[in-house]
Each structure stands twice: as structure tokens, then as C-alpha cells.
Structure 1
């Protein structure tokens, strides 16, 4: 088939049929996976999941590290009408068990490098033995190849599934963002996916190569990787991100685009000048970043190095959003851009919901995606976030006279560290359960590398000294229940925390 004709074909299975030998994925171990091989593996997994009873609307939880199995599991769910929950593998067993139970998971796929925590989480969630599958060997789990032993043909009654990704909730427990399934044909690539990539000047085919250096459990990371495959782009997967390795892979594979977070920019800029100059990055066309605030100086240095290919966006798992390319940013430094053509951005008064004029700060509201969403088992949270067809995640900002959005403060409580959401209420709940803690407040403080880091202010019970010994004990206690990245980097002791008569904490008084 001619390249011109092939370029008209979109979608994993269509490309696999039209150009079966086309490379879809470069696995972290260097193995090249063709579109036919990826489609076949996705078919096997889908048939295997159907074979254990999963039907459209059911949920599969994936804790697979970056690799072909993770992408095959995604596309298996995508064509079988299943919700797929890509879980953060840094979570503790109780945290993963909560997601397994809350999502009502019917199957759990995990990599053997997470064997201990995966097995414990499955036991805590009382997940049936025949619903557990391992890439590698995990005691009590079937090998994922068991799913792959089924028919390699397409499953019957194919319809589009969807990611169901967990985002922090007002109670401190994460909530699944769940959208109604459309029943659409998995072979038809949704027009919004093509339009979304066009925001970043990424067309189908066009010799595009996407490098994925972040974990696939991140919403945007999974979206960029899967859409790249659907549009005929080659996907280069990194198992663990390393700054110099990324530069080497960019040069080797002539990478054109990626999704990044500012922490990765910091790591790249920290490389010695001679190391950065060693690699050819002239193939780059659109290096997209979001998920966390990017310091202006960091952004300028990246633009100086890579040129205007550095593009920023602002959005949320729930929908969105805004975009600003490198050239625009230099004219509007600090902005996160203008609304997408099909989106709406408004700044509303937090008190009465009225729309504010240019330059006035308020709550930032975005238009929901192509389909509506709800927070799974959290109707009240869903209602609180919505204002007609708009929603907010609680960020404060303003629009200038040209419609460019500027963010002033992050949402009042959420901590963003290295592009990862950390909710203080969850950490506070754990620390407050310690016998020697009378009161506690957790918040994010500036970190030059990660954007923010977690800091805890603790009021010990009467008669207990706030010292290094207690700090160590509290850290060890929290480590039993929380992922490492959620643990306070510092603990400061106070005789009393500043609260008003109603118990509201004045967090600003804690930091200045």
C-alpha cells in the first residue's frame, strides 16, 4: 500500500490491517513491536477478559509498568467496552485496595516488580483469585499470558471503553472520573482526538515519533501515548526516566514530540553543558508540558535550548482547557494560554458565581469534555464542581484582555509535586490517628526542583516534646499507610495551630 494511501488510515486495528509491519512501539528493552503484534496482543487480552466474564461497563485495574503489556491492556479495554483504571504503582497496598474496591474492579493486572504490594492489595480488597493476572510471576496470580492464550481474533460486540482515572477528592480519598460509554466503534478514531493533537501541531503520520518517559498511570501521559498510536505515530517507551537517556533516545529515534512535566525540565537543565550539547535534538517539533506550574526561568531556558517547540497547556482529568506555544509565551510570560477552540474558560466570583471581567481574580472554570463526567460514588463532589456545562478544580486565576489565562494560586489545599497530585487531607488523617498528635496541618511549600514539597505542622499532645525523635516516629508511622511521595519532607512542631473559633485553619499563618 502506498504511503499516501496508508496515511489515510487511522486507528490501531485499521493500521495493523493496512500496514501490519509498521512499528508501533519501541519497548524499553529495545524490542520493536509492530502494529499487527500490538493489535493481536490487545485482541488476546480482550478475549481473555471476556472469557472470565467481563462485559461492557466492567472495570479492569492495571498496575503494569511502562511496556507493551500496558499498552496492550489499554487497547484491550478500549475495544471491549471496559473501563481501565491505570493505578499509581507508588501507592501502598491499602491505597491500591481502596481503588480496587471503589472502582468495583473485575480484573487486576500487575507487573511482578510490584509483586508484594499487588498481592497484599488484592487480598485486602478480597479480589477473587481468578481475577488476578501478572506480567511475570506473582504468587496467587495467573500469568498474563493466560489471557493471551485465547482466540487472537477480535472480540465479539466490540465497543469503545474508556479510562477511569482517579483524582484527589475533597475528603482526601481519590475519586474516579467516570464518563458514560458511547458505544462507538473502536475502529473509528474520535475526531476530538485528532483535533486535540492539532492543538500541538501534531498531524497523523508525518514521521512523528512520541517518547513516553513518564508513568502511563498519569492521565495525560496515557492519552498522549494512546492517541499517538491511533494516529500512526511510533511510540518510544522509557521504563524509568533519565535525563541523558531521554536525550540519547531523542537522537536515536528522531523523536518529534512528548508530554513532560517541569521536574523533567529541571533534571535536563541540570546536566553539564557538554552533555546537553552532545545530543542532536533538532527533530523535536512539539514538546508539551503541563500538570504542574513551570517556573518562568526554567521555561525560558528550555525555549533557549530547544526553541519554540515547548508548548504548555492547562487542563484536568475532568476536561479542559488552554494551550500556549513557545512564541506566544514569550509575548505573554507566565500565561497558560487561551481556551481550546471547542472549550470555554471563564473566571467566576467564588461567592456568587458571576463572571468576572479581565484582570480580576476568581475561580477558574473550564468546559467539560466531549462527554460529561461524574466522580464515581461522589454525587455531592460532582455537583460542587459543576456550574452548568462548566467545572472547576478550585484554581484561582484571571483572564487578561486578550483572553489569556494566568493562574495566581493553585487550588487551596492540593499539593503538586513533580506533576503529581498530593492531597493534604489524606496525610493529615493518617498523622492525626497517631496517639501523640493533638492537631496537624499539611501543606505544600516551594521546592526548586519539584515545584512543591510536603510539609507537616504538628501540635503534639500535652506533655510530649516536639523533637527529632517524634518526627522520625511520625514519619515511620505514616510510611506504613502512605506512598513514599506523600510523606512529609519536613515536620515542624507548634504548641498550637492557628484556627478560628469554628475550627478553620489559617494555613497562611503557618508559612508567614
Structure 2
């Protein structure tokens, strides 16, 4: 029998349009053309001006033969150029590859070659680095120099200046939508701790949906003032360039992150929102009095990356910041899980509130499902906050796959779920909580030990500024916990004192057997590089 709902009801241009964040730019230009879109030092652009600049960028790229399926890379701090690239590049039909500014020349050369870049936009601060990169990249690239007036300066290494490049474009270039929302919009590379990084491909549909999920999950009103502490090269700034277009928001650019710069921006620009890893939170709660600026309004902060210690969340709340904890990966467009807050939790004691907020939470609105599963049987674990399994994702904000790596893509999507590699538990209320990366779990005498649990304990010590725990080989136990600790200034706390402190808080077998003091190596997004710490521990 024929389904009556499949007769004469075909999709057409009137009733079906591919989802893409480019639609959000068209709308904000129409609705809020004169509202400030970008503020960068003395520079300020309205949404009309920003959209025109994006049109010019797209047009200039197309004039040089760049279009659908081509890759355009950019290496820049949080400036107007990289914000504009999030719209201008896909408007040309191309794919944006925002490069991590802290990568070495060899890795960047690999990325440009692997992603088959046709053009690269480079901030002059990175000219020495990019000269070396281009020397070792066997590609004929269009190189565009950005000379930011707020930057430190630098030499030109390309064929044309960014402003001249924009001037060559058409200010009335049409914002055309992709033929298929499954078309690629961005290419982001994972931080390869062993071997080369993998290229994660995003599609227009996922970028649009996560941009909207940010709004709903974070209860964002129109016209937020958003401070760019999170690098836009990290998961395309968690999709917030596109979120801000949807809301007619204002971007406050920040080339260099410091406590003084953040507090000044909050006070001077009435910043309402910013995102950052726990390293940013630590920077603020431990800021010197001279760097602090008073503010009377609420500042909403979204944090992710490494699970934030409850003690840091508490300190941020006490300083006037309203915290939201999210979780995700490069493969999930950034945030895909949120610790959705219940009003009755406001009645909990502050420490219990922080512990509750430290959980990763529940699916983002655009994520279809989130489970903790046994990766061997693909069965969900018991929701008892104890049974350990792997965090699995399914939905429209999961990547297309890994570029030119079918085997890795197949392995990541085995069983119809994205395998994150993060180990966690499911609480009875269906909120998940991470316990460790699969590679970071410590197995001592046959017992699994969560490095996160030990780190949270160390953070409760008054003299600990930062802490990270890894496994160290041991002849008797197989592995034992080894803690790396950065102390606060002027602290004379000893390793023995910290071990004794942990012993009063943890089971004996979980207590660190070694404490090593010093600064912790981090990625550009604030994640502690545990692979370096593991190597250092084994060398001791």
C-alpha cells in the first residue's frame, strides 16, 4: 500500500534548504546591521561591515580559483581575520583549516600537505614560523599576510596583504548556501601525541546545529558580549563564531590571554560570556590584586577540556562568575555534553554544588544520544556511578570522519557509535562523569585508579596551584601514581607533606608514591600534556 504522505509532497527549494551557519550571517546582516560585531583594540566593525568583509574574502578567493572542496588554512590569534574566515572561506565553497599557533613547523607542514591546502592566511607574528613551514611544504600556495595593528608586527612572506586581498573582492558577493548540508565546512587536526595528527572533518549541518545548541544549552540572550579567551583554531572556537552571528553578538578579540587583559575586557566592555579551559580559570582565581578589575554584572563562563577541579569551580563562583561545565572532543564540534543545572541544586552546600557541577552531564540538545558502554560488548554500563565504561556519542554533531583515513574512521564508528576513548561512569540520574582517558587509567596491583580523583584531592591542598597524575612503572605493583605539582608562589610544602595529605583523603593504594615539582607542559588550549609527563616520570 502506498504511503499517502509520500505522494506529491517532494522536497523543493520552497520547503527544504540545507542547514548551514552561513544562513546566520545573512540574517544578522538583515536584522542587526548596525550592531557591533567585532571589537579589536581601536578597531570596531558592525555586522554590516563584517558581512561585507566576509563577502569580499569569499569573492577574492573565488577569483583565484578556490571553490568547493578546496582547503584554505589560516594561522592567527583571535583577531578579526580569523573570525571573518569562519564565514568567508565556506562562502566560497571551500573548507576552513584553522591552524594551531603553537604547533611546530614540521607538524604544520604535514597538515598543509595532508589537507591539500590551496591558500594560507598568516598573521605576521608567525612569519618566521610559516617561512620555515612553507619551505618544507611541496605545494604551490597562495599566501596572504595579515598585518594586525594590535600585533607585534612582522615581515611579509606572501604574495598579498590581507586588506589588499579583501579590497580585490566584491562587497556584494552572494552568500550562497552549499548544495548539500553534508558538505565539509571545516577541517581540524587532533593533537597527535603519537605519530601524525588526524584531520577531523565537520559538515555544515553539524556546525549549524552546534551553534544553535550553544544558545539553548547556555541560556544565551540576544546581543551577548563574548570575550575570545578560547582560541578560534580550537574546534572552530567551539562553534561560537557562528553562535554569535545567530544572536547578533559582539566579539571582543584578545590576541594574548592574561589575567589583566581578561579583567580589563570584562570591566571595560561589559563582557557577558567567555569560554576557557581550567588553565584560564586558574589564571583568574590566582590573579594578583593589581591585575584584578571590579565588575558588578554577571559573567557567564563555559569551561571544558580537562575536568575542572571542584575547588576551582567554587573559587570562580565566589569571584562572581557563573560557571557552566561542558565536555566534548574535536570529533564532536567541541561541546556536546553539558552539566545541565537543576534549580533545587542551588540549595546544596557550596562544596556539593561544585562536586555536582564537576560532572560532565547530559547530551547537548543537538546530540542524539550519549552512553557509557562496554567497548567489547557495546552494552551500556549500570547507572550506579561505579561501573566503568567508555563514553560513546551518536548524533548530528559527530564529525564526518577522519580525512583520508578510512581505517581510523571505521574504528571510531564501530558498532554505530563514536568511541571517545574517555572512561567514565553513569550516575543514577543519567548524568555521566569522566574518570580518565583510557590511556591514563593507572592499574596498580590489578586495581584501576583514576588520575582525576587524585588530582582533585591535590587541588584541595591550599598550596597546590596545578596538579597532574600519571602512571609510573613499578616492579612490584606494575604501575603506581606519580603526581606532578606546581606550587603557589612562596610555598615550601614538601613532597612528603603532600603525600601525607593525600593519604588522609584517599585509599592507601591510590595515594601518589612520587611527587615531582615544576611547571606542567600544556597544549595551546590548556590541556596538560600527560604523554610528556609519563616520559618524565619514567626517566626519574
Kindly indicate whether residue 162 of structure 2 is the aligned counterpart of residue 150 of structure 1: no
Equivalent in the alignment of 2:247: 231
Kindly indicate whether residue 379 of structure 2 is the aligned counterpart of residue 354 of structure 1: yes
Equivalent in the alignment of 2:257: 241
Equivalent in the alignment of 1:106: 118
Q: CA 1:192 to 1:322, structure 2 compared with 1: closer, same or farther past 3 Å? A: closer
**Partners in 2 of 1:490 and 1:372 — Cα distance?**
30
Offset at residue 209 of structure 1 (A): 0.8
Equivalent in the alignment of 2:195: 172
Q: Report the more deviating stretch, 58-67 or 349-358.
A: 349-358
Q: Unpaired segments of 5 or more residues in structure 1?
A: 1-8, 418-423, 425-442, 451-483, 496-509
Kindly indicate whether residue 431 of structure 2 is the aligned counterpart of residue 404 of structure 1: yes
Equivalent in the alignment of 1:314: 327
Offset at residue 342 of structure 1 (A): 4.0
Q: CA 1:37 to 1:486, structure 2 compared with 1: closer, same or farther past 3 Å? A: farther
SS of residue in 2 equivalent to 1:395: strand
Offset at residue 21 of structure 1 (A): 2.2
SS of residue in 2 equivalent to 1:238: coil
Offset at residue 292 of structure 1 (A): 1.6
Equivalent in the alignment of 2:477: none
Equivalent in the alignment of 2:128: 116
Offset at residue 449 of structure 1 (A): 8.3
Kindly indicate whether residue 219 of structure 2 is the aligned counterpart of residue 219 of structure 1: no
Offset at residue 78 of structure 1 (A): 2.7
Equivalent in the alignment of 1:287: 301
Instruction: Give the one of 59, 64, 69 matched to 1:57.
Output: 69
Q: CA 1:155 to 1:394, structure 2 compared with 1: closer, same or farther past 3 Å? A: same
SS of residue in 2 equivalent to 1:71: helix
Q: CA 1:494 to 1:397, structure 2 compared with 1: closer, same or farther past 3 Å? A: closer
SS of residue in 2 equivalent to 1:90: coil
For each residue in 1:476-510, what CA deviation from the matched residue of structure 2 results, as whole angstroms up to 9, or x when unmatched?
xxxxxxxx989957965869xxxxxxxxxxxxxx9
Instruction: Give the one of 240, 257, 260 matched to 2:276.
Output: 260
Offset at residue 346 of structure 1 (A): 0.9
Contact 1:337/1:405 (<8 A) preserved: yes
For each residue in 1:30-65, what CA deviation from the matched residue of structure 2 results, as whole angstroms up to 9, or x when unmatched?
311111111111111111111111111211011022
Equivalent in the alignment of 2:316: 302
Offset at residue 166 of structure 1 (A): 0.8
Kindly indicate whether residue 364 of structure 2 is the aligned counterpart of residue 340 of structure 1: yes
Q: CA 1:127 to 1:292, structure 2 compared with 1: closer, same or farther past 3 Å? A: same
Contact 2:192/2:198 (<8 A) preserved: yes
Q: CA 1:248 to 1:119, structure 2 compared with 1: closer, same or farther past 3 Å? A: same
Q: CA 1:400 to 1:261, structure 2 compared with 1: closer, same or farther past 3 Å? A: same
Offset at residue 217 of structure 1 (A): 0.9
Equivalent in the alignment of 2:12: none
Aligned length: 420
Contact 1:11/1:232 (<8 A) preserved: no
Q: CA 1:99 to 1:388, structure 2 compared with 1: closer, same or farther past 3 Å? A: same
Instruction: Give the one of 237, 242, 251 matched to 2:267.
Output: 251
Offset at residue 127 of structure 1 (A): 2.5
Q: Unpaired segments of 5 or more residues in structure 2?
A: 1-21, 148-154, 346-352, 442-450, 456-469, 471-480, 489-527
SS of residue in 2 equivalent to 1:179: strand
Offset at residue 281 of structure 1 (A): 4.7
For each residue in 1:182-207, what CA deviation from the matched residue of structure 2 results, as whole angstroms up to 9, or x when unmatched?
6x9xxxx945532331101113x2x4
**Partners in 1 of 2:537 and 2:274 — Cα distance?**
42
For each residue in 1:316-358, what CA deviation from the matched residue of structure 2 results, as whole angstroms up to 9, or x when unmatched?
1222632115665547253111222443111111332222111
Q: CA 1:20 to 1:97, structure 2 compared with 1: closer, same or farther past 3 Å? A: same
Equivalent in the alignment of 2:408: 381
SS of residue in 2 equivalent to 1:246: helix
SS of residue in 2 equivalent to 1:315: strand
